[in-house]
Amino acid sequence: MKNLNNLAYFYCPKCGKEEVDIDMRTMGEHTVNFRGGYGIPILHFTCPNCGNLLAGGFPVNAHYDREYQKELITEYNEGGMYFNSKLLDFLKKEANK
């Protein structure tokens, strides 16, 4: 039986990789993006396909539809309305430890 507390929806806007009900424990480390305190945080994972550090996901119990989740993750990536270069710099530094 799947433990819903460990499952997430994952999406990478850079390469289009999308996984539904992926076990977060298999994705490695993640960074929590609290999105300025608004809504459910995005969990940023490194995309296993293209290495995008801003790929992300939401727990499956997040009450957002998939298209909205994809849109939010996309907006926090380069070129998006909420892109934050400081977050990307932090993730790069953490990845190189």
Cβ(70)–Cβ(11) under 8 Å?
Answer: yes
Predicted confidence at residue 80, as pLDDT, reads 96
Q: For the chain, which residues make up each domain, given as ranges?
A: 4-95
Mean pLDDT of 18-42: 86
Mean pLDDT of 22-29: 83
Predicted confidence at residue 21, as pLDDT, reads 86
DSSP per residue, 8-52? EEEE-TTT--EEEEEEGGGS---EEE-GGG-SSPEEE---TTT--
